[in-house]
Amino acid sequence: MGLTAHLLPDGQRLHLQHGPIDLIIGAEGQRRVAFEAAVARFETILDALVAELPALRAEMSQALAMPTGAVARRMHRAALGVPGDVFFTRMAAVAGAVADEVLAAMVSQAELARAFVNNGGDIALHLEGDAQFRLMMSDHTGRGLGRIVLRAGEGVGGIATSGRHGRSHSLGIADSVTVLAPCAAQADVAATLIANSVDLPGHPAIRRRPANALMEDSDLGARPVVAGCGPLTDAECARALGAGRRVADAFTAAGLITDAALFLHAHADLTDGPRLSVADKEPAHA
């Protein structure tokens, strides 16, 4: 599928799509200039990623060479410094890195009070002055889980969500994990790895299948991914979320993220930052 670009009916948001990449973009300020910059930068992103795809699907290690393309470099930088010894590939950052790259092109060309690039739920964000960004966290059915309220100057430039109901396969059982970070690529990696760690290894209610049996070219290879999760007790949910929270705390201590919200069945665990809250009613969209 070739690149498509069109304004949404509200006239204030731009929809860009090229192959599997699908972006919703908003801008307040020099909107036309920003949208033109977004289209121009988006034109070559997919081809550049495909050219380096085999290398980007390799297991991450400090020995890997820096990639060539701008988006791939963002993926590599986001993968550096990840705490602990855990398997992942730089593809864990791809959606966030694409969003970051398009947003950077917009901000470099236009004066903007507020702008965002939403790549399937992984969001790169720019705020100036008294601008705010509000949105709802929801589960795969659309039920509200909580809210996010961000203001300029808080050090948050990226939001990402991962879990077993997301676009990619997960090694863990989290329904969803939402992370706030300085950029979307960092949020993307962290959300993936925190969601992977919400788990109860060997539990009989959890069904797993090799990743490459579900998607032949998965960068996870034959590693078992979660294909279903049956009922769990409150104590089991708390134990699984606790494992994920320890990983979230490690990312926070390393300065890689600012906040995280972890959800499993009817249970939630939030880090201590003020920007996330569990829903008591549905908040407004941004």
Instruction: Tell whether 286 is covered by a domain.
Output: no
Instruction: Tell whether 210 is covered by a domain.
Output: yes
Instruction: Tell whether 18 is covered by a domain.
Output: yes
Instruction: Tell whether 283 is covered by a domain.
Output: no
Q: CATH no. for residue 192?
A: 3.10.520.10
Instruction: Tell whether 14 is covered by a domain.
Output: yes
Instruction: Tell whether 262 is covered by a domain.
Output: yes
Pairing mode, if any, of strands 132-138 and 144-151? antiparallel
Say how many domains are in the chain. Answer: 1
Instruction: Tell whether 65 is covered by a domain.
Output: yes
Distance of alpha carbon 264 from alpha carbon 266, whole angstroms: 6
Instruction: Tell whether 285 is covered by a domain.
Output: no
Q: What is the pLDDT of residue 286?
A: 41
Strand, coil or helix: what is 159? strand
Strand partners, 148: 135, 276
Domain of residue 72, residue span: 4-278
What would the two tokens of residue 215 be? 């998607």
Q: What is the distance, to the nearest Å, from the Cα of residue 210 to the centroid of all Cα atoms in its chain?
A: 23
Q: What is the distance, to the nearest Å, from the Cα of residue 283 to the centroid of all Cα atoms in its chain?
A: 21
Please list the pLDDT of the chain residue by residue as tens digits (286 residues). Answer: 689 999 999 999 999 999 999 999 999 999 999 999 999 999 999 999 999 999 999 999 989 999 999 999 999 999 998 998 899 999 999 999 999 999 999 999 999 999 999 999 999 999 999 999 999 998 888 888 999 999 999 999 999 999 998 777 888 999 999 999 999 999 999 999 999 999 999 999 999 999 888 787 788 878 888 899 999 999 999 999 999 999 999 999 999 999 999 999 989 999 887 898 886 533 333 4
Predicted TM-score (pTM) of the model is 0.92
